[in-house]
Structure 1
């Protein structure tokens, strides 16, 4: 499962920043002079970044549009993630991307199309549009995600027209779908690496999927959807580190990992603290199959007739990607039992333990590595803000 996108639709009933509480979907605080200007933001962006003023203007415009308070904490949160994900380059070069993509494409095709149709596609890769400048050679030459993305779209457009994919028995399930989109391996895009499903669910205006993809590769588009994903959900975290972890492993993963940790303490289980309370398919939809967390809850609750039923547990866990889960019977029951047993305040968040892997990475990492790296950039930004007397 792709842990970069483990949420689809998040109700924006109450937006919170890292340290600012709100109840009307807007970020605010009580200090009238805390609002930063584009000039201030430009000075907070690392000096090595080209066109700092341009990036700063876009950040101010987007935070205005999303009604996010433009104080040092929020702006530094945004700057830290952008810098970690792309070093403030709208369409950054990814070392070795072409070779990695060329190596992976055959396996991906066989998994999706089956051996026979994958064979047709492989032939096309090696011979079209010309034998000398074939698609496989073009893949090896790409340097950025945008180049690879656009090449995939071109290839699948040619393939679908040449082989009439929607009529093929082996691809019947693709009827009515965008074939290129279904097969496109580029799922996280732009300067803030936003999942295409998230961007699609929160489009700022009507556009086709290809137009949306192209927009994500622009400076403003990449920032808009990344800032939306990072900031536009409420969480009671006491430090930005957990929001950074969530950006990598999924909304509320840090809170949910703490929930799993409490279950381990109460039920003497060894659940992975991955922040996923249900099992999901590649599209982010919950599976009917019970997760280890759900099974552990059912078994633990079975000894108490006053505990939530299996049906209630399932219903509550479906809210795991929203703030509403904290008010559920299941969550509150675990919190109460934990505090009664330990005499300690229930933890609201812990670091999720999720491995990060993919063709764009030189090796596997984990969420803690990502969050700590971003937090280091955040701390540097806040130090600059303090030096500039912006806090």
Structure 2
């Protein structure tokens, strides 16, 4: 359940049995693989019967698997279907409750931060759009993130205040059937198998684009996980967040300090002499680890890659922590993150999201 209008937040590949790794990692499909129609039929069979255009959804999912060379096994199929069902209920561009109010609150928040008077904001929204309606009237009529994204694009282009409020950046940062991050899609557009009609942003709001980039975000990286629930947590919190939260837990055990298990090992943009909480705690273990501050920083900079699991820092921290704890420690922990979005009306967490999707995943496997 990524954030609108701002993005939410924002894995020991050791002696894992190859059969477990194949079930929990994204594995390239063996050539030539099952025929496309066989894969589509299998996907369609697992989509809930009440879903409109099951064949169309199955075709788009099969195309995403083929383009990304993802094995179309039951585990991967059901993982994608579980996220789609959780995030949109099989709607390519789902409606968002109270979206006009959410959007206006975001505009007012930005205006307040920039000390722009409310009267000036009201005047800007009274400007006529290309269809003759005021931007305020158009804002009141938006129902989906695609509607709002397109309106923001027009406001940024045509209303002088729009550039000031949004700094040329569209506030809608997630969208589509799998609520994938638009910046993620833009950064991974190479190899997109469809003609781009307008922009990658617009493609995310289409069924084919939302499925393609959502599948990549969910399955487009290898992990050391033995349970899909940790991949679902990563979908919400970021690649390798579950692996990194487990590392934070090991650091906490080794140092005796309480740490936020959020999966963020480095504070964004922190200089070497002003490290974040986790990095400071790791530095306290420097002598025992045989690593100086720069070596620790270089290792932590790999936290968004699978190779971090094999790094000396990762292995030595776990050795220290397990020696202190007197027992093995988990290599994957669901991050403790509270979901912060104006679309959410009750207190939810990454753990809630991951378990909800995991439940849908298990139901799909039984279909």
Q: Report TM bin, short chain.
A: 0.7 to 0.9
Residue 306 of structure 2 corresponds to residue 323 of structure 1: yes
Partner of 1:238: 226
Between the aligned partners of 1:338 and 1:247, the Cα distance in structure 2 is: 28
What's the offset of the Cα at 1:196?
1.5
Instruction: Tell me how far apart the structure 2 counterparts of residues 377 and 34 of structure 1 sit (CA, whole Å).
Output: 27
Contact 1:339 1:346 in 2 (8 A): yes
Structure 2 contact 336–351 (Cα < 8 Å) conserved: yes
Which deviates further from its counterpart, 258-267 or 330-339? 330-339
1:205-224 aligned within 5 A: 211-224=199-212
Shift of the 311–116 alpha-carbon distance from structure 1 to 2, 3 Å rule, reads: same
TM-score by length of 1: 0.81
Q: Cα deviation per residue 1:193-213 (whole Å; 9 max; x = unaligned)?
A: 111211111003699996111
For this pair of structures, how many residues does the alignment match?
Answer: 349
TM-superposed CA distance for 1:337, in Å, is: 1.1
Q: Does 1:145 align with 2:145?
A: yes
Q: Is it true that 1:333 corresponds to 2:319 in the alignment?
A: no
| Equivalent residue, structure 2, for 1:388 | none
Question: 2:245 touches 2:263 (CA, 8 Å); kept in 1?
Answer: yes
Q: How far off its partner does 1:164 sit? A: 10
* Structure 1 residues 373-384: aligned runs within 5 Å: 373-384=356-367
Describe the superposition over 1:39-94 as per-residue Cα deviations: whole angstroms up to 9, x where unpaired.
Answer: 11101011121000110011111101111111101100110011111111100111
User: Displacement of 1:229 after TM fit?
Assistant: 0.6
SS at match of 1:123: helix
Return the match for 2:180 from 194, 207, 210: 194
| Partner deviation per Cα, 1:265-310 (whole Å, 9 max, x = no partner) | 1111110111111122xxxxx43341100011112324x3x52111
**TM-superposition CA deviations, 1:164-183 (whole Å, max 9, x none):** 95xxxxx6xx9xxx943x2x
Alignment of 1:231-310 (within 5 A): 231-280=219-268, 286-288=269-271, 289-302=274-287, 304=288, 307-310=290-293
In the alignment, does 2:109 pair up with 1:126? no
Is the 2:28–2:71 Cα contact (8 Å) retained in structure 1?
yes
- In 1, the alpha carbon distance for the partners of 2:99 and 2:243 equals 34
- RMSD of the TM alignment (CA)? 3.1
Residue by residue over 1:137-164, the C-alpha shift from the partner in whole angstroms, topping out at 9 and shown as x without a partner, is 321221101001101111111124xx79
Q: Decide whether the 8 Å contact of 1:18 with 1:240 is kept in 2.
A: no
Please list every run of 5 or more consecutive structure 2 residues that lacks an aligned counterpart in the other structure.
11-17
CA shift in 2, pair 1:34/1:310, >3 Å: farther
- The secondary structure found in structure 1 opposite 2:75 is helix
Q: 1:22 to 1:124 in 2, by over 3 A?
A: closer
Gaps of 5+ in 1: 7-15, 166-170, 281-285, 385-391
Counterpart of 1:89?
A: 91
Question: In structure 2, what is the Cα distance between the partners aligned to 1:261 and 1:307?
Answer: 20
C-alpha distance in 1, partners of 2:197/2:49? Answer: 35
Aligned to 2:136: 136
The aligned runs of 1:312-391 (5 Å cut-off) are 312-384=295-367
Q: 1:53/1:164 Cα in 2 relative to 1: closer, same or farther (>3 Å)?
A: closer
Alpha-carbon distance between aligned partners in 1 of 2:180 and 2:34, rounded to the nearest angstrom: 32
| Kept in 1: contact 2:24–2:227 (CA 8 A) | no
Query: Following TM superposition, by how much is the alpha carbon of 1:128 offset from its aligned partner in structure 2, in angstroms?
Result: 3.5
| Compared CA separation, residues 29 and 378, structure 1 to 2 (3 A) | farther
Displacement after TM superposition at 1:19 (Å): 4.5
Query: Conserved in 2, the CA contact under 8 Å of 1:94 and 1:143?
Result: yes
Greater relative contact order (Cα < 8 A, sep 6+): 2
